[in-house]
A and B are shown apart, each in its own frame.
Chain A
Amino acid sequence: MKEKSSLSPEAKSIINAKLTRRTLFAGVGGLSAATLLASCGADASKEVAAGIAEDVGGTVRWANWSAYLDAKRVNGSRTYPTLEAFISSSGIDVDYLVDVNDNDEFYGKVQGQLKLGKDIGYDIVTLTDWMTDRWIRLGYTQTLDEANMPNKGNILPSLSNVGFDPGRKQSLTWQSGFAGFGWNKELVPGGINSVEQLFDKKNKGRIEVLSEMRDTMGIILQYQGVDITKPFTEDQFMNAIDFLEKQISDGIIRQVKGNDYLEDMAIGDAIAVIGWSGDIFSLNAEEGDKFEFAIPESGGTLWSDNMMIASTSSNKSNSEKLMDYYYDPKVAAEVAAWVNYICPVVGAQAEMEKIDPELASSNFIFPDEATLSKVSVFRSLNFEEEVKFSEAFQMASGN
């Protein structure tokens, strides 16, 4: 059984952090004098990654992206039917927090606490493959206990054994999806199928692209004939950056944004975007059938987001139960019917037949070979490339 600790959460996090002289100095800005004194007593001889937090249970705090869970408006406020069902059947309370706007932005927000082993305010985080890779590598995740997750085996075989997490011991796919073109049918009656059409002069100042480098650059690179699954060169990448820079300096691109491009589409500031497949369907559900999505002629990108339990979470088993719940094919189908992203759960398609046969044949939820042949997964970058490319991408975006 769990050992009951008499220490306050703050005191625990201080002890867990086991500050070394170096990490102490790095984190000194946020620490009070008292903490400094307290930590001087801690083991200062070796560099230890902040430990895994103890499981004490409580409310599960889940960080996710917008338009990423089945939602319903009840008396003006948003509720999540599948989540409500989980809460009432399991008795586990869940705080669903739409706090991820962009992988980098989210990592930047929590990395200081992760490093020090202090609570980041979330138990489950949902991040894209390449960022999941980083978290697992840096030891910021907890190993999943399969005893709490009978449904875990329902994961699609193609996703069950990925390079960054062999055997899915630390992470579980939430959804996969495509990056492509989304547009407002009233304001862009002709629709958008190619990169030229997107960056046409007549759309000046009304186009937005994702701050998710791999999606925006993946689409531009493929437009320039580069295979993003194979090792392309730095020159090829920088050519694509030049192309992006030109669209920005010409004023075609209004902003480079995270998931909040959806707001700009909703209010009409952006008439067409490089965006994510399911988002556009969710936007239609909330704003009336005004938007459309297409995979670029020259190729779109395919990505997956993964649920992980943060190393700082003191709520492991409840979090596992929640993750497991969403791997019940029936629940997964309900989510997919709303979010319109690629469902990672085996058996969900059969369940979908019962909810909506039309959606069961949707290529955005259960894609066929023809659809999958139009998208590619951005290859993994080594550390040096990641630094260089993301810096170039940020500078092209004006910052």
Chain B
Amino acid sequence: MSNLETLQKEPRSGLLKNYKLEFTPYLLLIPGLLWLFTFFILPILNLSTTSTKTRSPSFETGAFDQTWRFLNYVDAFVENQEQFYRSFIYALIATVLALAIAYPLAYAIAFRSGAMKNILLVLVIAPFFTSFLLRTLAWKQILGSEGPVVSLLQNLNIMNSGQTITATSFSVIMGLTYNFLPFMTLPIYASLDRIDPKLLEASGDLFANSLNTFRKVTLPLSMPGVVAGTLLTFIPASGDYINASILGNPNTKMIGNVIDSRFFRVVDYPTAAALSFILMAVILIIVSVYIRRTGTDELV
């Protein structure tokens, strides 16, 4: 009996302590929540009410009436399907390419770079020292139709005289891959670097060859980095419009370009708002399916 009593008492006194502890996380959340409320929730609410407006009968620039027209969403999607599909396909290809480039790179930095490790890491981050826009503009110059690369390839007869590199879907995808590569490399590096070398040794002791060690030990342990990296690449890439507008042509425009043009050029806020919501929803669906399949237990 007495044993049981103490057992019952202990959790009770613990409960009081826990109550205080439980409260602290919420207090800590307040600054973040306030921030989110002001700069995320409020704009989102504003955007959502805008998305169901229609132009006022006068057609005056920027004048809209709230008519709760949810068909705006259907119209916005149907009219711009092509750019939606294109955005997700480009983002997907760029993500796969970035993974293919970043994984070996991160692996080499984590396991094979020795004293060079810090220098290599700085080099991965170095592009961030200049603006995203400038770097993309630089590619446009380097790969320009009269630029050094095209001239060389044309002189070597690898490219025909009429062919160009920029203003194609190739250059847009290349730009996306390039611009988001560090976002793929760093998380993968971080999870590879955390792997305890003893695990790899143990795998060898158990007679696994290097391929099996990679498949059964290294790769699974680096999955959180891969998942984080692919998300950090795919999400911004599918909403990007800089690469398509600088390195593309009118036939390679992405959904970001359409939203930009509806907001700023046509001054059609409802369509722009509806498109933004559709984009957010689609990304949310894709990401949650992806996360469910890959698991996020070790993410963060």
B144 touches A269 (CB 8 A): yes
A147 at the interface (CB under 8 A from B): no
B257 at the interface (CB under 8 A from A): yes
From 121 to 170 in chain B, residues with beta carbon under 8 angstroms from any chain A beta carbon are 140-141, 144-147, 162, 164, 166-167
The stretch from A105-113, A222-230, A345-353 touching chain B is A105-113
Kindly state the separation between the CA atoms of A254 and B162 in the bound complex, as whole angstroms: 13
For B163, the closest partner residue in chain A by CB is A205
Q: Which of B58, B147, B249 has the most CB of A within 10 A?
A: B249
A398 touches B250 (CB 8 A): yes
A249 touches B251 (CB 8 A): yes
B145 touches A269 (CB 8 A): yes
The stretch from A54-62, A72-80, A164-172, A386-394 touching chain B is A386-394
Kindly state the separation between the CA atoms of A392 and B55 in the bound complex, as whole angstroms: 16
B260 touches A109 (CB 8 A): no
B42 at the interface (CB under 8 A from A): yes
**Interface membership of chain B positions 25-50, coded 1 if the CB is closer than 8 angstroms to chain A and 0 otherwise:** 00000000010001000110111010
**CB-defined contacts of B166 to chain A, threshold 8 Å:** 269
Assess A138 versus B61: contact at CB under 8 Å? Given A249-B251, A395-B79, A399-B257: yes
B268 touches A387 (CB 8 A): yes
A267 touches B167 (CB 8 A): no
B43 touches A205 (CB 8 A): no
Per DSSP, are chain A's interface residues mostly helix, strand or loop, or mixed? helix
B18 at the interface (CB under 8 A from A): no
For B64, the closest partner residue in chain A by CB is A26
Assess A253 versus B250: contact at CB under 8 Å? Given A268-B145, A269-B144, A399-B261: yes
**CB-defined contacts of A255 to chain B, threshold 8 Å:** 167, 249-250
A25 at the interface (CB under 8 A from B): yes
B43 touches A28 (CB 8 A): yes
Kindly state the separation between the CA atoms of A105 and B258 in the bound complex, as whole angstroms: 13
From 206 to 254 in chain A, residues with beta carbon under 8 angstroms from any chain B beta carbon are 206, 211, 248-249, 251, 253-254
**Interface membership of chain A positions 247-274, coded 1 if the CB is closer than 8 angstroms to chain B and 0 otherwise:** 0110101111000000000011100000
B251 touches A269 (CB 8 A): no
B167 touches A399 (CB 8 A): no
Cβ contact of B62, chosen from A28, A111, A205, A211, cutoff 8 A: A111
B85 at the interface (CB under 8 A from A): no
Cβ contact of B250, chosen from A32, A256, A267, A384, cutoff 8 A: A256
**Interface membership of chain A positions 7-50, coded 1 if the CB is closer than 8 angstroms to chain B and 0 otherwise:** 00000000000000000011011001100000000000000000
A104 touches B46 (CB 8 A): no
For A26, the closest partner residue in chain B by CB is B46
A185 at the interface (CB under 8 A from B): no
B59 touches A383 (CB 8 A): yes
- The smallest C-beta distance from B29 to any residue of chain A, in angstroms, reads 17
Kindly state the separation between the CA atoms of A25 and B175 in the bound complex, as whole angstroms: 38
Cβ contact of A391, chosen from B42, B49, B58, B266, cutoff 8 A: B266
From 157 to 211 in chain B, residues with beta carbon under 8 angstroms from any chain A beta carbon are 162, 164, 166-167
Assess A108 versus B263: contact at CB under 8 Å? Given A32-B38, A383-B58: yes
A108 touches B251 (CB 8 A): no
**CB-defined contacts of A29 to chain B, threshold 8 Å:** 42-43, 46-47
A205 touches B164 (CB 8 A): yes
- The smallest C-beta distance from B249 to any residue of chain A, in angstroms, reads 6
**Interface membership of chain B positions 258-270, coded 1 if the CB is closer than 8 angstroms to chain A and 0 otherwise:** 1011111111100
B59 touches A134 (CB 8 A): no
A398 touches B146 (CB 8 A): no
**CB-defined contacts of B297 to chain A, threshold 8 Å:** none
A82 at the interface (CB under 8 A from B): no
**CB-defined contacts of A115 to chain B, threshold 8 Å:** 62
Binding site for A on B (CB under 8 A): 34, 38, 42-43, 45-47, 49, 55, 58-62, 79, 83, 140-141, 144-147, 162, 164, 166-167, 249-253, 257-258, 260-268
**19 new A-B contacts at CB < 8 Å, known A28-B43, A115-B62, A398-B253:** A29-B42, A29-B47, A33-B34, A138-B61, A205-B162, A205-B164, A205-B249, A251-B249, A253-B249, A255-B167, A256-B250, A268-B145, A383-B61, A387-B55, A387-B267, A387-B268, A394-B266, A398-B83, A399-B83
